[in-house]
Structure 1
Amino acid sequence: MKHPDRPGTPSGEPAPAAPTIASFAELDLPGEVLRTLTALGVREPFPIQAATLPSALAGRDVLGRGRTGSGKTLAFGLPLLARTAGRRAEPKRPLALVLVPTRELAQQVTEALTPYAEALRLRMAAVVGGMSAGRQIAALRDGAEVVVATPGRLHDLIERKACHLGRVRITVLDEADQMCDMGFLPQVTEALDQVHADGQRMLFSATLDRDVDSLVERYLHDPVVHSVDASAGEVATMDHHVLVVHGPDRYAVTTEIAARDGRVLLFLDTKHSVDLLTRHLRASGVHAAALHSGKSQPQRTRTLAQFKNGQVTVLVATNVAARGLHIDDLDLVVNVDPPTDPKDYVHRAGRTARAGESGSVVTLVLSGQRREVSRIMAEAGIEATVTKVRSGEAALSRITGAKAPSGTPLDGGPSARPKNANTPFRGLGTSKDASRGTGGKSRKSGEARKLAEARKAAMVRRGR
């Protein structure tokens, strides 16, 4: 489909990529943006920015593929802002739209682009669930040139006639595969059907499965294709380890890893197990905090801020933290519960070794889980080093920096420990086991004895 007033090539012809650039100064960016980049210490473009910016600034549709953490927010954000500068939005009628899957990513994108938007005197509004709809409606009514939104809340405001997309000429889909995985495809297509038909579209996705491919085919016209970054298995600065642990020792291993110097992100499968492990870690003297969908948005925002500034050193999370979040200098991610899907592994791993930094991904497995985990990692293109470890061993410390926790409770003494201290995560008798009848009870009592033995052994190693 050829649009005469849009840059591009006739349908069926390949879209040649624009040449990459070595500095932002080579681009036709507004002076205000260049000065803001300099003031913020952003001197040289990352590869995806160098490759994508010329095409995006020229108004071309862009398809970016690959893992996150490579600087793609500025890759789409700077062209979006530069091409919107000088225009003024009418009430309820934004001019540019960025769709993202989660509130956290919406907040992160908004914060990253705000300095440049302010320099260009563009107004931004975040439209996300879990926060006051009234304030968001007011921001749209006052006029916002750029809206960063999650699909669900945007759909709600469109239904309430609080937002109209007919004047949107630049649309970005960030983490498109996750939006589809989360069931947002109907809301995404609804939005794309309402934006200006001849507008520019930029889509970024780690994978191009059937749903994402359908979006590309239907809504992108002669897109220039760029690779955002290598897959997790191809990142030279990322190390992958599988640590085979003995069941009763898994609890102590996790605690010692959490007590390391430096930050660590621990992934578990359920909100319940996240809360239990977090309480245990804090009772052991570890500055840990929980992040999952059961937390309110203000709680989630505060927790992430504390993790970023170092007040919290251990973030215990479900997959809500697996996509889009950027934490500077995070060099260790631990799958306490092994992921059950190759894409989950890739996205969890993508929280470390970002933007050229180094990092390690550690997956804890019991002997009975090794075959399944090996299959998942092979499908993800990961080659991992396999090591059998026990708590207190040099190998565990060498790989993860693990050490014994202080044992001094952070929240008022022993009462802070979870009532079911033997059930912090899957494999040690989670709520899933408890729901299976008397077998769950016997497992709990057995694991309680094993946990007590593990704690006693840890205390002996610390000389207590």
Structure 2
Amino acid sequence: MDSVVPSFGRPWSALQPALSEPMLSAICSLGFENMTPVQEATIPAFSQNRDVIVEAATGSGKTLSFLIPILELLQRKKLRLTHTQVGAIIISPTRELARQTFTVLLELLKLTGLPYIPHLVVGGSSSATNTADEMSVLKETGADILVGTPGRLEDVLCGRLRNGKKTKAGMITASGGLRGKPSASAAKLEVIVLDEADRLLDLGFEASLTAIFSALPKQRRTGLFSATMTEALGQLVRTGLRNPVRVQVQVHDRNTACSERRIPASLSIRYMVCPPDRKLAQILRLIQTAGPLKYIVYFSTCAAVDYFYRLLRRMLCPAQAIVPGGKRTMKEEKERLREYFTAPTSSSVSVHSLHGQMVQSKRQATYESFSAIPSGENEVALLLCTDVASRGLDIPDVDCVIQWDPPTDPKSFAHRCGRTARAGKNGQALVFLSPGAEETFIDFMALRKIPMTPADYLWQSADGSVTEEPPADAKIIEDSSSSDDGEEEEEEEEEEEQENGGGEAAKKKKKKKKRSRNHDQLCKFPADTRSDALLELVRGLVVTDRDIYERGKLAFVSFVQSYSKHEASYIFRLKELPIIEVAKGFALLHLPSMPELRGRPVSRFIPYANLDTDAIPLLDSKREASRLEKLEKAKAAAAAAAAARASGLVADADNDSDKKKKKKKNNTEAWTDAKEAKDRTRERKLKRIKRRDAVASVEEARLMQEIEDPKVLEALAKDPLLAKQMINRRDKSLRDIKEMSSNSGRPAAAAEKRSLDEIIADARSSKRYASASSSSEDEEDSWEVMARKEAIRKKLAAKNKKRFTFNPGFSDDEEE
């Protein structure tokens, strides 16, 4: 059997210490004859009881680099694990990566015949019943090796957290928090592996990781594996690893001046600088010329994936259920689209979507169906996804990765591209950049040792053929809307400059120069009339389906918000984003009302002709009937109000409404700025709560320890709910009892205080105690929840503020 990995590594039999015979035969059965560099450097160190930190290019074989040492260590130690004890743990940031690792582990165990029981624990269950069933299976069968995501592994090893919150340090706040009984014990754990370790911290799993590490023995082996390492891993390295071995595998390119790369040598990354409204046409032209291949297209938001999935499915693989008008309309749409896109000869097209807000069952079905499609078998397969599918996933035979826009986190760029060119195979990657500031991203990636080469812009002739040469009639874009008004604006600014001394006019000139500079970058490109016509065709499809129309608006808004949060904000600046061209690229029928559009040249956007948004139908007849009914009721109410206003019956109400409108503030703050302010306020509030809870917890623990009177301790032991109630009230009850206990030998001092019976009667007379004692035993355990709910209820009553919500009129959970 031919090896599926590069032949520059040594054979597996050369490893020291040598692998066991069952493991060598299993690796040979998988088709791996030689080791990759990361395997050759990592397996000996990890197998000899050393902690490791491994950084290697994506697709270099890191999964076997930790699975083989785990099985070898367990086999050499000959651990005798009980039914509930675990010998090894593998933590992955996403469910898909955990399932993939678990599948490889099962294959290795099957081929080696080792008697270890693996178990997969991931989140995403549709109900609490399914979660309980999964935990019961784990308790019944037991597990020697656990593979899963941080949240569910925390529940298994530390007990499920109820009625409380975790801090970043993994501790439960004093305001509440009870843990259930752990389903597995890590007392004899031998090894733990963090796959894509930097991503685990980026996704906010720090508290769960800290809680998991607190339940592990200190004498263990730890491995951190990733294609990119960040400074945030320093904390885990200092607390969880002991004298680790750092393995950093570099890729050298002999053919270019760049001697070092962070990507495989078989991966070619290209970039295309083009206006944002031409990305869709470029993708379709690339598919038309490249042939039947497997593509992954990355977007920055889940809303964009949903929108373009429905749009491309309607365009490339229409079905009667998603095309209004039946077979005749579907045939007409195919004929119109054939002018701008022709699938490769005798090839079918399939479109798939995958993002983090999908139901887990749909995510798993999409992943399995796309992975099962073979490359080059007369089928063009498109997977539209977010960064949830950018880390570690080994999807077979991916030929090309297309990035609609660069990732918000630049570290994810190499991981996105790494879904192709895996295990020594060749692969292509393409990223779109808007002209202007985004071109600096090329140099930014070069500093990170990720070289890119320019890609040719693809043109389409009138007969539908695609070439790299522009047509003879291609002309440079001219902005007629701004040229006519330019002289008048300059004259007005000169007059203002003379009147105001030049201050305000100079500022306006400066702003106008910035806007014109951005527009000049777009004007460098010849006009692409075929791309513009394609977008008009797409808008014609959008106007027939309200679901696509609503999702398009939401996708555009979410993209703008995501762009404003870019970590490389000095490159991706919202003020320099050609937002009007972005709206055109999303095939919007009209521009939504949003603060980010203020001061932008909205005259360059042409709304769809004769547009009545209320007339855009939903394809689901039941949902459409419900929508029309609500619309009719709203129109009737508006008509009744207008008639009453005309007759003068609601004059007083109109005056009151006018007064309210005058008092109402004009909100000119952008959504992104408002969200940042809310996040900062929430963080400050959380810090205050943590400080208050920490002080209260210390005081309560001190008071409980200083109670010496056996009668008091006996009374608290007989009534646990009473003790909880007295702690939760944060009043003087515990202090009185403590002083009574300490002054029990001095009757005069004790007489001045309340008696024990009076203190207990006062605590029991509270409303919280009465409601808790009358409830069931299960409800008694949730006394912290009752206190918290009451506090929240009081705050909401005192501060009744309406929150802004964007309701697109659909739900992600709806069945198609």
TM-score normalised to structure 2 length: 0.47
Per the alignment, residue 91 of structure 2 pairs with: 99
* Distance across 2 between alignment mates of 1:421 and 1:208: 36
Q: Is the CA contact (8 Å cut-off) linking 2:285 and 2:458 kept in structure 1? A: no
Deviates more, 1:101-110 or 1:282-291: 282-291
CA displacement 1:95-136 (0-9 Å, x = unmatched) = 111111111110010001112224202111111111342343
The superposition leaves residues 260-281 of structure 1 with CA deviations (integer Å, 9 ceiling, x where unpaired) of 4210110001111101111122
Alignment correspondent of 1:64: 54
Asked if 2 retains the 8 angstrom alpha-carbon contact of 1:244 and 1:365, the reply is: yes
**What are structure 2's unaligned runs of at least 5 residues?**
1-8, 161-181, 252-259, 317-348, 375-379, 461-465, 470-533, 538-543, 560-581, 610-816
Offset at 1:92? 3.2
Larger deviation: 381-390 or 91-100? 381-390
The answer to whether the 8 A contact 1:100-1:149 is kept is: yes
Contact 2:459/2:468 (<8 A) preserved: no
1:395 and 2:468 matched: yes
| Aligned 8 A contact 2:303 2:551 in 1 | no
2:136 pairs, out of 129, 135, 138, with 138
Written as runs of structure 1 = structure 2, the 5 A alignment for 1:14-413 is 22-24=11-13, 26=15, 28-85=18-75, 86-118=78-110, 119-131=113-125, 132-141=130-139, 142-157=141-156, 158-160=158-160, 161-228=182-249, 230=251, 233-258=262-287, 260-285=291-316, 286-310=349-373, 313-368=381-436, 370-374=438-442, 376-387=444-455, 389-392=457-460, 393-395=466-468
Larger Rg, first or second structure (1 or 2):
2
Q: Aligned equivalents of 1:447 and 1:89: distance in 2? A: 69
Quote the offset at 1:54 in angstroms: 1.5
Q: Higher relative CO (CA 8 A, sep ≥ 6), structure 1 or 2? A: 1
Amino acid paired to 1:370: E
- Take 1:129 and 1:421, find their aligned partners in 2: how far apart are those partners? 27
Between Structure 1 and Structure 2, which shows a larger proportion of helix residues? 2
Give, in whole Å, the separation in 2 of the partners of 1:219 and 1:443: 58
Q: Distance in 1 between matches of 2:603 and 2:302?
A: 21
Out of 411, 425, 428, the residue aligned to residue 583 of structure 2 is: 428
Query: How many Å separate the matches in 2 of 1:443 and 1:418?
Result: 24
CA distance in 2, matches of 1:110, 1:247: 40
Identify the range of structure 1 (20-29 vs 220-229) with the bigger mean alpha-carbon deviation: 20-29
Q: Which has the higher strand share?
A: 1
Report if the CA contact (8 A) 1:126-1:136 is conserved: no
Equivalents in 2 of 1:162, 1:199: separation in Å? 20
Correspondence for 2:548:
418
How many residue pairs end up in the alignment? 419
- Matched AA of 1:30: S
RMSD (Å), alpha carbons: 3.4
| 1:421/1:64 CA distance change after superposition, 3 Å | closer
Q: Could you tell me how far apart the structure 1 residues matched to 2:405 and 2:608 are?
A: 19
Structure 1 stretches of 5 or more lacking a match? 1-19, 397-404, 408-413, 450-464
The aligned amino acid for 1:185 is E
In 2: Cα distance, 1:379 partner to 1:61 partner? 30
Tell me if structure 1 keeps the 8 A contact 2:196–2:392.
Answer: yes
Tell whether the 8 Å contact from 1:124 to 1:145 is kept in structure 2 after alignment.
Answer: yes
Deviation at 1:193, TM superposition (A): 2.7
Answer whether contact 2:353 2:366 (CA < 8 A) is retained.
yes
SS of residue in 2 equivalent to 1:28: coil
Distance 1:128 1:174 in 2: 14
Identity rate, percent: 29
Residues 204-261 of structure 1 show CA distances to partners (whole Å, capped at 9, x for unaligned) of: 1333323212211222222222125548645322212111223432222223335542
Q: CA deviation at 1:376?
A: 4.1
Q: 1:435 to 1:353 in 2, by over 3 A?
A: farther
Whole-Å separation in 1 of the counterparts to 2:102 and 2:546: 36
Query: Structure 1 CA distance, aligned partners of 2:36 and 2:24?
Result: 15
Q: SS at the partner of 1:42?
A: coil
Partner SS for 1:90: coil
Q: Which amino acid aligns with 1:271?
A: C
